[in-house]
Amino acid sequence: MKKIMIIMTISLIFIFISIVYAAKINIKKGQTNVILDVFISNSLSTTGGGLTGLTYNSSGLTAYYIRPGQTSDTAIPLVSTTIGTYTSGGFVEIDSVHLPGLYEFDPPNAIFSEGSNSAVIFLNGAINMVPLPMELQLYDIGTPSSTIVIGVPTNIY
């Protein structure tokens, strides 16, 4: 019985990891003013709890992106923003009580420009923060709108 429980637990962990890291965000090429709602896990939590209290200028917090063909990554300067309002590099906690670990992140428009079919954004470095990679699939279908708010993971059609 104990062996079965251990095997089931390990299986669930692998399923969870594959779901988290297999998730992709689909965004139209040329999209502008994208607002992402992202969940940041607390590395000290044994229950998958979110990390609260981060701000755009939290010690160690960094954001970078890279697109295929770039020879190096590009830093995203994090800045203060208001929830629901796009600001390039904006980062703000949504609600530490009711939505612990949920933040709004406004990636720069350059990430979504023509010339690539994908990009990776990486948030990392704050104390007790589980690194957050976000894989973006950029596609050509449809016409981009001026502002769009999405959660992670999601699809925009």
Residue 154, Cβ density class (10 Å: 0-12 exposed, 13-18 middle, ≥19 buried): middle
Give the pair of three-digit tokens for residue 26.
């689909």
Which amino acid would we find at residue 126?
A
pLDDT score of 13:
46
Q: Which residue has the higher pLDDT, 73 or 154?
A: 73
On the question of pLDDT at 55 being above 70, the answer is yes
Arithmetic mean of pLDDT, 78-106: 97
| Least confident interval from 95-109, 112-126, 130-144 | 130-144
Per CATH, the number for 24-151 is 2.60.40
Least confident of 34-48, 115-129, 132-146: 132-146
